[in-house]
Structure formats: C-alpha cells, structure tokens
Chains A and B, each alone.
Chain A
Amino acid sequence: GQNIDQPTEMTATEGAIVQINCTYQTSGFNGLFWYQQHAGEAPTFLSYNVLDGLEEKGRFSSFLSRSKGYSYLLLKELQMKDSASYLCAVTKLNRDDKIIFGKGTRLHILP
C-alpha cells in the first residue's frame, strides 16, 4: 500500500527553529514535494527533493533520506507569517501515477 505520515499539529516560538517530519511508504518512489498552505488559501510550492541530502532555500531547508523513507522541512528564524499548514507529497517513477499528499501539519507560531 501507500502511506504518508506527518504530525497533525506543532507549535513553535517566533525566532526559533522547527522541524516538520514526513515519513512515507510507497513503491516506485521518485521524489517528495513540500507545500505551504495558509488557512483558506491555495497551497504554494516550497521544495522538491529527489536525491538524498539537504537542500537549503533561504530560511527553509528540506531533507530527504530515500533509504529510510523520511523527509523533513526545517524552518529557521520563525516569523508569525509562517503560521500555516505544511503538506508533503510523494511522486512516483511512473509519471502516469498520481501525486500522493499527506494530511498536512498545522504549525502555530507563538509571539
């Protein structure tokens, strides 16, 4: 079967660092997306990892371990505007296969 797990909710403090984990079990794995979604809005693309390792993009970094079926999104210097849901999504080697989304992690930032 196919399964993606993320924590339902997390809370962090403004200016701090938070790590949002995503684990997956799927055959024919190709890559993993991270999206940000503010309440009532559409998701926006953050990152895409295909190879093992860390990719840094400003305050946001994303890590992938293909052997462990594990990814995380690291947010540094948290700002209030980072309060949102963060969705991980898995793509398959067969491009006819659909993208599989996790249920998302709601991140609350405290002042």
Chain B
Amino acid sequence: DGGITQSPKYLFRKEGQNVTLSCEQNLNHDAMYWYRQDPGQGLRLIYYSQIVNDFQKGDIAEGYSVSREKKESFPLTVTSAQKNPTAFYLCASNRDSNQPQHFGDGTRLSIL
C-alpha cells in the first residue's frame, strides 16, 4: 500500500540541539510539504518542495531547514535557532497543488 510515513512519532529536544524529523512517501508524488500545528490552531506552512532538489520557504521557515535530495524523502531539521519548537509537525505530499494532500501521522516534538 502506498503512503506517507513520518518518524519518530514523539521526539524530545534538548536546549541548543538540532533534531531531524523524517518524512518518506512511496506515492510517487512530486510535491511535499511541512506544516507546524500548535494546540487548537490551524496548519502553518514551514517549507514546501515542488520537485527534487528544489524547495521554497513557507510562512514560518525561520529556525528550520529542509533538503529534497530524493523524490521520496523530505526531512525537516529543527535547529537551535527555533526558540519555541514544541508543536505537532505534519508532513504531506501530492502530485501537484490542485490534488488532495496526503498527510503522515505527524511527529510531536517537545523540549526537555
């Protein structure tokens, strides 16, 4: 079955530490997205990528970085510059922006 997989499900970060969230899809989708969701809030776009080796900043890119070296993979690094990283992170993919997004199950990041 095709799908989109995020790991880990829960992640803890120490002060000053970078952490990387994994997102893999086997749907052969060109576009991939990272969103941040805070409690009781909507989705805010961090980064998105329409094609391999290319990505664009979303609305809240500061303190985050991404790479898109393979079509299947779009990892997100939460750097120490992100001062308030505690949130639910969702990865999504679609063939293009006019197709429904398929979402992973999310990663919940907390500060130790």
Asked if residues A45 and B101 are in contact (CB atoms below 8 Å), the reply is: yes
Known contacts A42-B90, A104-B42: A95-B101 contact under CB 8 Å: no
Least CB distance from B73 to A in Å reads 18
Least CB distance from B39 to A in Å reads 10
CA of A43 to CA of B37 in the docked complex: distance in angstroms? Answer: 11
Asked if residues A43 and B58 are in contact (CB atoms below 8 Å), the reply is: no
> How many residues of B are counted as interface, with CB atoms below 8 angstroms from the partner's CB atoms?
23
- Selected contact of B100 from candidates A48, A102, A104, A106, CB within 8 Å: A48
Known contacts A101-B42, A106-B40: A42-B106 contact under CB 8 Å: yes
Query: CB-CB < 8 A to A30: which residues of B?
Result: 98
B50 within 8 A of A: yes
Query: CB-CB < 8 A to A96: which residues of B?
Result: 50, 97
CA of A99 to CA of B103 in the docked complex: distance in angstroms? Answer: 14
Q: Pick the most buried of B35, B40, B97, B103: most chain A CB atoms within 10 A of its CB.
A: B97
- Selected contact of B97 from candidates A43, A92, A102, A106, CB within 8 Å: A92
Least CB distance from A87 to B in Å reads 6
Asked if residues B97 and A42 are in contact (CB atoms below 8 Å), the reply is: no
Chain A residue nearest to B42 in the complex (CB): A103
Interface string of A87-99 (1 = CB under 8 A from B): 1000110011111
CA of A43 to CA of B41 in the docked complex: distance in angstroms? Answer: 13
Query: CB-CB < 8 A to B96: which residues of A?
Result: 95
Query: CB-CB < 8 A to A106: which residues of B?
Result: 40
Residues of A52-104 whose CB lies within 8 A of B: 87, 91-92, 95-99, 101-104
Asked if residues B100 and A42 are in contact (CB atoms below 8 Å), the reply is: no
CA of A96 to CA of B51 in the docked complex: distance in angstroms? Answer: 10
Residues of B16-35 whose CB lies within 8 A of A: 33, 35
Query: CB-CB < 8 A to A103: which residues of B?
Result: 41-42
Between-chain CB contacts (< 8 Å), 9 pairs: A42-B90, A44-B103, A97-B97, A99-B33, A99-B97, A99-B101, A103-B41, A103-B42, A104-B43
